[in-house]
Amino acid sequence: MKIEYLGHSCFRLDNELVVDPYKDGSVPGLKPLRISGKRVICSHEHADHSGRECVEILPGECSFNVKEVPSFHDDHGGTLRGPNTIFVILKDGEKLVHLGDLGHFPNGEQMTAISDADYLLVPVGGYYTIDAKMAGKICEACRPKCIIPMHYRTAEYGYPELAGVEEFVGLADKAGIGEKVQVMKL
């Protein structure tokens, strides 16, 4: 599976499935997104995750099977920031999980759905989502083969309230799962 990181929480898989495209101007420092794909999915309707209009839809059927797992954008049952959808994405025997803007530790049913993924795309910047510590606990519990952090701040882009990826990488190293972490560049 080809995983292309486009910034913030946006990824394109095999040049056909786009997950969480951001709207123009919604993420400080990121250039307007102009890409194509056969299908677009959004974890929730905040501007930094719902830029469907920035994706040109190509003809043909998308070859990915997508399962939606309801969750929340906060640890108060969605009362602070609303709902969030976790995507379990399957193709050719591989399983990729995109946690969206998850704001809580997954319950039993959610954990079952996300466990043993080949790739886990996990928010690590905190403030609007889980933080580095919670992300690490989730990664330890669900045992992915590869961990790809997202939704964090860099020197070039991101919300100033968010933490950088460094704390998560350090915690993953201490927990013995650092070799699974792949920080993707734009």
Per-residue pLDDT for the chain (186 aa), expressed as one digit of tens each? Answer: 999 999 999 999 999 999 999 999 999 999 999 999 999 999 999 999 999 999 999 999 999 999 999 999 999 999 999 999 999 999 999 999 999 999 999 999 999 999 999 999 999 999 999 999 999 999 999 999 999 999 999 999 999 999 999 999 999 999 999 999 999 999
Q: What pLDDT score was predicted for residue 23?
A: 98
Number of domains in the chain: 1
- Which range of residues forms the domain containing residue 174? 3-180
75 belongs to a structural domain? yes
E-only strand ranges, 25-145: 35-37, 39-41, 55-57, 65-72, 83-91, 94-98, 119-123
CATH of the domain at 49: 3.60.15.10
Alpha-carbon gap, residue 13 to 40, rounded angstroms: 10
Q: What is the pLDDT of residue 67?
A: 98
Diameter of the chain by CA atoms? 46
Asked, for residue 186, whether it belongs to a domain, the answer is no
Helix (H) or strand (E) holding 3: strand 3-7
Is residue 185 domain-resident?
no
* Stated pTM of the model: 0.97
Report if residue 160 sits inside a domain.
yes
129 in a domain, yes or no? yes
* Cα–Cα distance, 164 to 152 (Å, whole number): 5
Q: In this structure, is residue 84 part of a structural domain? A: yes
Rounded to whole angstroms, the Cα distance separating 134 from 171 reads 10
